[in-house]
Amino acid sequence: MAREQLQVLNALDVAKTQWYHFTAIIIAGMGFFTDAYDLFCISLVTKLLGRIYYHVDGAGKPGTLPPNVSAAVNGVAFCGTLAGQLFFGWLGDKLGRKKVYGMTLMLMVICSVASGLSFGHTPKSVMVTLCFFRFWLGFGIGGDYPLSATIMSEYANKKTRGAFIAAVFAMQGFGILAGGIFAIILSSAFKTMFEAPPYEVDALRSTIPQADYVWRIILMVGALPAALTYYWRMKMPETARYTALVAKDAKQAASDMSKVMQMDIEAEPQKIEQMEKEKSQFGLFSKEFAKRHGLHLLGTTTTWFLLDIAFYSQNLFQKDIFSAIGWIPSAKSMNAIEEVYRIARAQTLIALCSTVPGYWFTVALIDKMGRFTIQLMGFFFMTVFMFALAIPYDHWTHRDNRIGFVIMYSLTFFFANFGPNATTFVVPAEIFPARLRSTCHGISAASGKLGAIVGAFGFLYLAQNKDKAKADAGYPAGIGVKNSLIVLGVINALGFLFTFLVPESKGKSLEEMSGENEDKESPAEAEL
Does residue 523 surpass a pLDDT of 50?
A: no
pLDDT value at position 214? 92
**How many residues in the chain?**
528
Q: What is the mean pLDDT of residues 404-421?
A: 87
3-state class percentages of the chain: helix first, strand second, coil last, to nearest 5: 75, 0, 25
pLDDT digit string (tens) for 353-391? Answer: 777 888 989 999 999 999 999 999 999 999 999 999 888
Under 8 Å between Cβ of 214 and 340: yes
Q: How far apart are CA 167 and CA 155, in angstroms?
A: 13
pLDDT value at position 316? 61
Q: How far apart are CA 132 and CA 232, in angstroms?
A: 29
Q: How far apart are CA 428 and CA 440, in angstroms?
A: 7
At residue 1 the predicted structure's pLDDT band, cuts being 50, 70 and 90, is very low
Does residue 192 surpass a pLDDT of 80?
A: yes
Does residue 522 surpass a pLDDT of 60?
A: no
Q: In the beta sheet, which residues pair with residue 518?
A: 2
Question: Angle 450-455-457 (CA atoms, 0-180°, nearest 5)?
Answer: 95
Does residue 147 surpass a pLDDT of 60?
A: yes
Span between the terminal Cα atoms of the chain, in Å:
25
Distances from the Cα of 234 to the Cα of 101, 102, 224, 239, 361, angstroms: 8, 7, 17, 13, 31
Distances from the Cα of 391 to the Cα of 341, 406, 460, 481, 487, angstroms: 34, 16, 20, 11, 11
At residue 431 the predicted structure's pLDDT band, cuts being 50, 70 and 90, is very high
Q: What is the mean pLDDT of residues 48-77?
A: 86
Residue 107 burial class via C-beta count within 10 angstroms: exposed 0-12, middle 13-18, buried 19 and up? buried
Q: How far apart are CA 513 and CA 289, in angstroms?
A: 14
Helix-then-strand count for the chain, H and E: 22, 0
Question: Angle 130-108-81 (CA atoms, 0-180°, nearest 5)?
Answer: 75
Mean pLDDT for the chain?
85
Q: What is the mean pLDDT of residues 167-176?
A: 91
> Is 219 or 405 the better-scoring residue by pLDDT?
219
Under 8 Å between Cβ of 179 and 40: yes
At residue 142 the predicted structure's pLDDT band, cuts being 50, 70 and 90, is very high
Q: What is the mean pLDDT of residues 341-360?
A: 85
26-30, 96-100, 384-388, 513-517: range with lowest mean pLDDT: 513-517
Residue 285 burial class via C-beta count within 10 angstroms: exposed 0-12, middle 13-18, buried 19 and up? exposed
Does residue 527 surpass a pLDDT of 50?
A: no
